[in-house]
Amino acid sequence: MVNYKIENILTQIRRAKAMNHSAPDFYNLYSIKKRALYKDYIAENDISSLIDSAFKYTNNNLELSFVDNRYSEIFRYIDGGEVEKMPVKQLSGNLNALFEAMKTSGIKDMLIKKHNMRCTDNDLDALAITESQFDAEFDVATNNRSKLPILYLKNVFWLQKYLRMFKNLQLQEIFSQNFKGDETPENINYLLYMAFKKYEILDTIYFEEKRGGNREMPMCLSYREVYKNIFDDIFPNSENDISMDYQMVYEYKSILDNLNSKKNMLLETLIKSQIRESQANVLNQTIPSWGVIKSEESISVGFEPEGYMLTPVFNYKNKYVYSQILTTPQMRTYPYKEFYPIYLSREDEKLLTPSVLVKPTPEQIKEIKLQSKRKWYNQEIYKRVLCQINGKPYPHEKTNIINLSDLKNQDRRNEIGKSR
């Protein structure tokens, strides 16, 4: 059984083997950062807690079966009645299960650390958070009193953060199983590249198994010998047994599919509810401002929930979630508002997206107000954050696109001009 995608991957591996290990990096800078993230994680956490937390969360009894058109249709007619209590309770419970997964796996601490480091790196220290602020977002009593839209948004946001961390960390662990301590600064990029190609072969088998059903064993048998021969030279300390390796990838991919499915379901309902409220000219008091971010390669949706700092943005390069919603006949007439996010760098379209979604303390609000009045390159960011906290839509116009790198450079030019 020949698979042309696998044959192409094997060709890439053979070419890479013929190259010197000191050749230009096999792995790009973004991937190297993910490796560094994994190193930080395993320095303080047991990697087995990650997979355990995912199993417990995906297998919990909180079936989100209510996420369907019935509830999204009546969002704007609900005001604390009996109809709302069931989904609110389940969404609140799902958030609590997510919190336990993030806490026991160590992801919670990593998200707080990541957020605060980004604030420091971009002179946004007033937006740094504490652990108690993080924990407050998962308070069951508070969430049980929350409105549906904000609960959907919080579930989607935190699930996406957990999913991404799980995806990056567990994939690096799968890579590490191949070279088991043999990595050095000189060969790590080469080993990671080869481990990724090995994963691509197994991922292709998983895809074919999902598409055709139970086809992995014939394909594993077809490639068993060539798989072992080609990888024994690269990873001599690994068994390089395609069936054993496939089972590890199968477990990983199955969890990812489960998490993605739940996240997409929640996000779809949230978007539908926002569209219907906008069509009916009903202002959603919990998420008064939202919109679409369009590009040639992807489509994203950004939300500005009242009382929170920074803007959650959900991006999908394959456009799957949004194409299913935004192209339906009843949605085509909706006048989509262009949403302009905060850019760390406009050139590479790098967004200032939050690692956490929390409310500021009273002391933070005072500092944010102070920074929003100060004439410096981060003034516009603090103005926008203040608008969101107060529930006032920021004037999103093309002339108001916030590009942190441009503002920072302009501020420096002004300082140089004054010194002269």
pLDDT tens-digit series, residues 105-159 = 999 999 999 999 989 988 899 999 999 999 999 999 999 998 888 999 999 999 9
Q: Tell me the mean pLDDT in the region 212-239.
A: 84
Q: Is the alpha carbon torsion for 254, 258, 263, 268 positive or negative?
A: positive
| % of the chain with per-residue pLDDT over 70 | 70
Residue 404 backbone dihedrals phi, psi, to 5 degrees: -60, -40
Residues 156-172: tens digit of each pLDDT: 999 999 999 999 999 99
Domain residue limits, the chain = 4-275, 288-419
Q: How confident is the model at residue 68 (pLDDT cuts 50, 70, 90)?
A: very low
Q: Tell me the mean pLDDT in the region 323-341.
A: 52
- Confidence at residue 219, expressed as pLDDT on a 0 to 100 scale: 81
Q: Tell me the mean pLDDT in the region 381-392.
A: 87
User: In this model, does residue 92 exceed pLDDT 70?
Assistant: yes
The residues pairing with 402 across neighbouring beta strands, listed in sequence order, are: 342
User: In this model, does residue 82 exceed pLDDT 60?
Assistant: no
Distance CA 78, CA 70 (A): 12
User: In this model, does residue 341 exceed pLDDT 80?
Assistant: no
- Confidence at residue 11, expressed as pLDDT on a 0 to 100 scale: 94
Instruction: Give the helix/strand (H/E) hosting 291.
Output: strand 289-294
Distance CA 77, CA 57 (A): 31
**For the chain, what percentages of helix, strand and coil (3-state, to nearest 5) are there?**
65, 5, 30
> Which residues in 154-188 are b (16+ Cβ under 10 Å) and which e?
bbbbbbbbbbebbbbbbbbbbbbebbeeebeeeeb
| pTM given for the model | 0.84
User: In this model, does residue 263 exceed pLDDT 70?
Assistant: yes
User: In this model, does residue 291 exceed pLDDT 50?
Assistant: yes
Distance CA 80, CA 92 (A): 15
Residues 4-37: tens digit of each pLDDT: 899 999 999 998 888 765 544 566 666 777 888 8
User: In the predicted model, what is the mean pLDDT of the chain?
Assistant: 78
* Range among 262-276, 300-314, 336-350 rated most confident: 300-314
- Confidence at residue 72, expressed as pLDDT on a 0 to 100 scale: 44
Residues 348-369: tens digit of each pLDDT: 456 677 899 999 999 999 999 9
Distance CA 61, CA 240 (A): 37
Q: Tell me the mean pLDDT in the region 217-231.
A: 88
Q: Tell me the mean pLDDT in the region 207-233.
A: 82
